[in-house]
Amino acid sequence: MRRLLWPSVALALVIAYPLWFSTPFQQRLGALVLLYAIAASAWNIIGGYAGQVSVGHVVFFGCGAYAAMGAYAHFGWSPLVGIPAGIVLSVAIAAVIGVPTLRLSGHYFSMATIALAELVRLIVSNTDYLGAAVGLSGPTVPRNLFDLSFTSALPYYYLFLAVLLITLGITWWMAESRMGFYLRAIKDSERAARSLGAPASRTKLHAFILSAGLTSVAGALYAMMFGFVDPESGLGILISVKMLIMAALGGAGLLFGPLVGAAILVPLEEISNNLLGGKGAGLTFVVYGAIIVIIARFQPGGILTLIKRIWAISDKAAKAAVAEGATHAP
């Protein structure tokens, strides 16, 4: 029961947040935290659990965003219809790029994904059907509820929360399944895992595909909330960077790591952009870069690993104190 206590308290607080903090800025901030938490949690499956650092996840994010906006812009359908299309497209791209690169050392995977991201961005920026440099827009005035176009951030907040819970549920289920055990073994030592019969390439590919599909859902939700997508907001490499850094800061390979990372970094970015204006964008990424370097250098496990370690130490100290008390008792 104690295992469930903290998550349920946290969940209650997350559900109550927009009721306490009810200004539009605060509600929008909350919705963005949840949205980036979905994307970073999706990245976490391949980057954290499988230990394969994808720098091109923005491609899948863009697939979802473009599919959702394309469904409206070209066919007049609800952006919701684009979600399955975005998932199918993402899964196909992940399979094509994952099959050759996941057999090689992790460096190749990272380099291939970064090249893929740039390639897709360049192609989309020069394709008129996808709006080229201008991008695609969603419904400006909602026709019905299924357009999911709201002026307030509150409906998005609860929508994103529901999707985040599903994403975390899938991640948890995956981590507890046979696949999760294979992934942990592969991450520790791929050679040892292979020699014990774990199908390393196939398991990594499955993780990549799962991660890609979930990321595209995040992209579709993003486009719905902002009502448009262009090459910069849907396919810019910095979106990959955000997923990566949020997961790593909170704790890559831990269920709640990406959520913790998003809860720290999204407010940081929003506030610094608000305070510093356009100039702030550059400074924000200087800070991002510094944070990434510091995590890599001192605490690759992220904040949650650090907290766990501190808890373990204080736990030990507490037990030692109890034991000492027992020996001194009359």
Partner 1 sequence: MSILVQVIVGGLLLGAVYALFSSGLTLIWGMMNVINFAHGDFVMLGMYVAFVVWTLLGVGPFVGAPIAALVLATLGVIVYFGLIRSVMKGPMLAQILGTFGLALLLRYSVFWGFGANFQTLPENLVGGTFDVLGIRIQASRLLAGAVALLVTLGLHLLLTRTSLGSKMLAVAEDATAAQLMGIRPDSMQAIAWAIAAGATGIAGALIATFFYIAPTVGETLGIVAFVTVSLGGFGSVPGALVAGLLIGVIESVSAYSIGAVYKDIVVYSLFLCFLWFRPQGLMGKS
- For residue 194, the minimal CB distance to partner 1 (Å) is 16
Are 272 and 283 in contact, with CB atoms under 8 Å apart?
Answer: yes
Q: Which is nearer to partner 1, 55 or 161 (CB)?
A: 55
User: Closest separation between CB of residue 142 and partner 1, Å?
Assistant: 36
Query: For residues 149 and 240, which CB has a smaller minimum distance to partner 1 in the complex?
Result: 240
Q: How far is the CB of 53 from partner 1 (least distance, A)?
A: 4
Query: Judged by CB, which is closer to partner 1: 107, or 178?
Result: 107
Q: Compare residues 31 and 116 and give the one whose CB is closer to partner 1.
A: 116
The least CB distance from residue 191 to partner 1, in Å, is 14
Rounded least distance, CB 258 to partner 1, Å: 14
Q: Residues interacting with partner 1, by CB under 8 A?
A: 47-48, 51, 53, 55, 97, 99-101, 103-104, 106-108, 110-112, 114-116, 118-119, 122-123, 126, 187, 237, 241, 244-245, 248, 252, 279, 282-286, 288-297, 300
> Which CB atom, from 29 or from 53, has the smaller least distance to partner 1?
53
Q: Which tokens hold the place of 255? A: 């269920």
Which residue's CB is nearer to partner 1, number 283 or number 307? 283
Shortest distance, CB of residue 9 to partner 1, whole angstroms? 30
Question: Smallest distance from the beta carbon of 70 to partner 1, in angstroms?
Answer: 21
Nearer residue to partner 1 within complex by CB, 50 or 68: 50
